[in-house]
Amino acid sequence: MHFLFLFLVTFLQSPGARAGEIIGGQEVKPHSRPYMAYLTYEIGNGIKKACGAFLIREDFLLSAAHCWGRSIKIILGAHNIKISEDTQQKIPVLRAIPHQKYDNKTFKNDIMLIQLKKKARLNKAVGLLPLPRKKNLIRPGKSCIVAGWGRTLQDRFSDTLQDVEIKVIKDQECMERYPKNYNTSTQICAGDPKQKKSSSQGDSGGPLVCDRVAQGIVSYGFSNGRNPRCYTRIFSFLPWIKKTMNEY
């Protein structure tokens, strides 16, 4: 992550880009987003990092490939990740499968499947998020939701799940701001540049939810949380998702 951060600082000539905090959002009603999972991993020297992930089948979650690391742990059914809630399910991870062609310099193919050792128990606090079926479901102007335990405007990580409404905007906006990185066929550009509402550090891997469907995955953007930001376009990875889930 540090190399990637440096790379982007160099090439974007900006305050620096780093992977996706909820900024300008609010605490969600507990367990109203039952597909959300809290993911932690280690990057060496015992340093722990956190991301979001979301449940798409009882035994599979989706996240971002840049959230891959050692000792990946998943907590389902959480609202406050600092306390041990009765609703939480901590299921060991069987394998983490980042996209084979994930490129940590450009964030290309920033998608990862995580298979659990056993199926999650679905209930009011733990549920599935549907994948998209039709590409045309999502257009500029569309309002979507991003949720996560990432950094907030107060510049600290949140103990409780937050969410924020974010609008999909024209690809052109991301092409201009992230010319070396943005790919219109595999990514979604979202977040009004005039608004201080966005995903941010620690929200990476969480879903961009439009009409209760997972359309994007929080991928990358400028380090100051400024909009717009880039999301992995899930629709373009459906064949990979299906094939990979069938293989295991």
Ligand X SMILES: *[C@@H]1O[C@H](CO)[C@@H](O)[C@H](O)[C@H]1NC(C)=O
Compare residues 4 and 144 and give the one whose CB is closer to ligand X.
Answer: 4
Give me the helices (H) in the chain, please.
2-12, 171-177, 238-247
Residue whose C-alpha is closest to residue 198's, from 49, 44, 24: 24
* 110 belongs to the catalytic site: yes
Under the binding rule (CB under 6 A), the answer on residue 160 touching ligand X is no
Residues 72/52, Cβ–Cβ less than 8 Å: no
* 66 belongs to the catalytic site: yes
Under the binding rule (CB under 6 A), the answer on residue 11 touching ligand X is no
Beta carbon of residue 1, minimum distance to ligand X (angstroms, whole number): 6
Compare residues 2 and 212 and give the one whose CB is closer to ligand X.
Answer: 2
* 32 belongs to the catalytic site: no
Under the binding rule (CB under 6 A), the answer on residue 64 touching ligand X is no
Under the binding rule (CB under 6 A), the answer on residue 93 touching ligand X is no
Find all residues with CB under 8 Å of 32, minimum gap 6, and list them. none
Under the binding rule (CB under 6 A), the answer on residue 136 touching ligand X is no
Under the binding rule (CB under 6 A), the answer on residue 40 touching ligand X is no
Contacts (CB under 6 A) with ligand X, residues 168-197: 183, 185-186
How far apart are the C-alpha atoms of 162 and 152, rounded to whole Å? 9
How far apart are the C-alpha atoms of 62 and 53, rounded to whole Å? 6
